[in-house]
Amino acid sequence: MKKLAELYRGKAKTVYTTENPDLLILEFRNDTSAFDGLRIEQLDRKGMVNNKFNYFIMTKLHEAGIPTQVEALLSDNEVLVKKLQMIPVECVVRNRAAGSLVKRLGVEEGQVLNPPTFELFLKNDALHDPMVNDSHCKAFGWASDDQLAKMKELSFKINTILTDLFDKAGLILVDYKLEFGLFKGEITLGDEFSPDGCRLWEKSTLKKMDKDRFRQGLGGVIEAYEEVAKRIGVCL
Ligand code: TMP
Ligand code: ASP
């Protein structure tokens, strides 16, 4: 499958059309963004690591019965995916308090959240992805009740699968962001799952192994991503 035209250039990935109107190619670039695009840097190997990481996770989720957009790994930096009609709302599941939740509620970082929380954020960099609720999604036509219920159900099902996968690798899945879209009317997992869009802490030391290393200038960003990849069995 060949790239035809550039459809969309995001902060870390570029989307291309193909000869098949139902399929797109995602190209993972080395660009690394934080604070809604305020800071962007190139990190060697990141495109390749995230592409292979994402393919590995999406394959595990598919095997567990989650509908995902992924079709085939094409190269180090490219994956073939279904063309989804994206829902412009991000779903965030949290198993422990961190990031914006700590800032918003003044709770202690690391506090276990039982049951895990589910939050919705509007995908809008200029507004810094404001938090929204079900009624906003309905009023503005972003997602229906049924679609929201499905997104929540899948987000929690994914939590069970991935918490276990990372736990077996000595890692805590602290939180993560998912994006869904519609493919022939079915809610389908889109975008990516990589250390760019989740928090992972080493169980024994609580060392951050995700994009917080970039956000907080801790260094060793890609080394941490590669270590996580190695531990869960991604072939780099
Ligand atoms: P937050 O603590 O900044 O709200 O983020 C929660 C998790 O979701 C964290 O793992 C980062 C991820 N996330 C993104 O990757 N992109 C986003 O735009 C948002 C809002 C969250
Ligand atoms: N993904 C967003 C950005 O690229 C938010 C973040 O990761 O800080 O800026």
Residue located via tokens 């049924």: 146
**Residue-level pLDDT at 1:** 86
Furthest-apart CA atoms within the chain: distance in Å: 51
Distance between Cα 36 and ligand 2 center (Å): 4
Q: How far apart are CA 166 and CA 6, in angstroms?
A: 35
Asked whether 138 lines ligand 2 (CB < 6 A), one says: no
**Over its length of 236 residues, how does the chain's per-residue pLDDT go in tens digits?**
899 999 999 999 999 999 999 999 999 999 999 998 899 999 999 999 999 999 999 999 999 999 999 999 999 999 999 999 999 999 999 999 999 999 999 999 999 999 999 999 999 999 999 999 999 999 999 999 999 999 999 999 999 999 999 999 999 999 999 999 999 999 999 999 999 999 999 999 999 999 999 999 999 999 999 999 999 999 99
Helices marked H in 25-115:
46-63, 99-105
Asked whether 34 lines ligand 2 (CB < 6 A), one says: yes
Identify the three-state secondary structure at position 85.
strand
Q: How far apart are CA 170 and CA 161, in angstroms?
A: 15
Position in ligand 1 atom list of the atom nearest CA 129: 20
Residue 117 tokens, joined? 């929380």
Position in ligand 1 atom list of the atom nearest CA 175: 10
Identify the three-state secondary structure at position 144.
coil
**Residue-level pLDDT at 208:** 98
Distance between Cα 20 and ligand 2 center (Å): 31
Ligand 1 binding pocket mutation candidate from 36, 89, 155, 175 (most atoms within 8 A of CB): 175
**Residue-level pLDDT at 153:** 99
**Residue-level pLDDT at 151:** 99
**Residue-level pLDDT at 136:** 98
**Residue-level pLDDT at 23:** 98
Asked whether 29 lines ligand 2 (CB < 6 A), one says: no
